[in-house]
Structure 1
Amino acid sequence: DEGAMMMIASTEISSKEELAAKLAESPRIEDINYIKEVSTKEAYVHKNGAWNHEKKAYNKAVMSDKKVVVVDFGVKRNILNELVESGLEVEVVPSTFKADDLIARFEANEIGGIFLSNGPGDPLTLTEEKEQVQKLINANIPMFAICLGHQMLSIAHGHDTYKLPFGQHGGN
Structure 2
Amino acid sequence: MKYTKRDKALILLEDGTIFYGKSIGKKGSAFGEVCFNTGTTGYQEIFTDPSYFGQIMVTTNAHIGNYGTMESEVESDSVKIAGLVCRNFSFTYSRPSADASLEEFFEKNKLFAISDVDTRALVSHIREHGAMNAVISTDVDDIDGLKEQLSKIPNMKGLELASKVSTNEPYFYGDENATYKIAALDLGIKKNILRNFSKRDVYIKVFPFDSTFEEMEAWNPDGYFLSNGPGDPEPLDQAQAVAKKVIEKGLPLFGICLGHQIIGLANGISTYKMHHGHRGINHPIMNLETGKGEITSQNHGFSINREETENHPDIKITHVHLNDQTVAGIRMKNKPVFSVQYHPEASPGPHDASYLFDEFLETIKKHSNSSVTS
Alignment counterpart, residue 101 of structure 1, candidates 215, 230, 240: 215
Amino acid at match of 2:285: G
User: Which of the two has greater strand per residue?
Assistant: 2
Q: Does 1:115 align with 2:225?
A: yes
Change (3 A) 1:116 1:169: farther
Change (3 A) 1:8 1:78: same
Q: Does 1:77 align with 2:191?
A: yes
Correspondence 1:2-151 to 2 at 5 A = 2-12=129-139, 14-47=141-174, 61=175, 63-103=177-217, 105=218, 110-151=220-261
5+ residue gaps, structure 2, are 1-127, 287-321, 323-374
TM-score, normalised via structure 1 length: 0.78
Could you give the per-residue CA deviations for residues 99-122 of structure 1, whole angstroms, max 9, x where no partner exists? Answer: 12224x27xxx2111011111222
Residue identity over aligned pairs, in percent, reads: 30
Structural RMSD (CA)? 2.2
Quick one: distance in 2 between partners of 1:164 and 1:64? 43
5+ residue gaps, structure 1, are 48-60
Amino acid at match of 1:147: C
Amino acid at match of 1:91: K
Q: Based on CA coordinates, which of the two structures has the bigger radius of gyration? A: 2
1:38 shift after superposition: 1.0
Name whichever of 162-171 and 129-138 sits farther off.
Answer: 162-171
1:97 shift after superposition: 0.8
Quick one: distance in 2 between partners of 1:3 and 1:164? 5
Name the SS of the counterpart of 1:40 in structure 2.
Answer: coil
Name the SS of the counterpart of 1:120 in structure 2.
Answer: coil
Paired residues of 2:207 and 2:216 also in contact (CA < 8 A): no
TM-score, normalised via structure 2 length: 0.38
Change (3 A) 1:125 1:169: farther
Higher relative CO (Cα under 8 Å, sequence separation at least 6) belongs to 1
Count of aligned pairs? 155
Name whichever of 1-10 and 38-47 sits farther off.
Answer: 1-10
Paired residues of 1:30 and 1:125 also in contact (CA < 8 A): no
Paired residues of 1:66 and 1:112 also in contact (CA < 8 A): yes
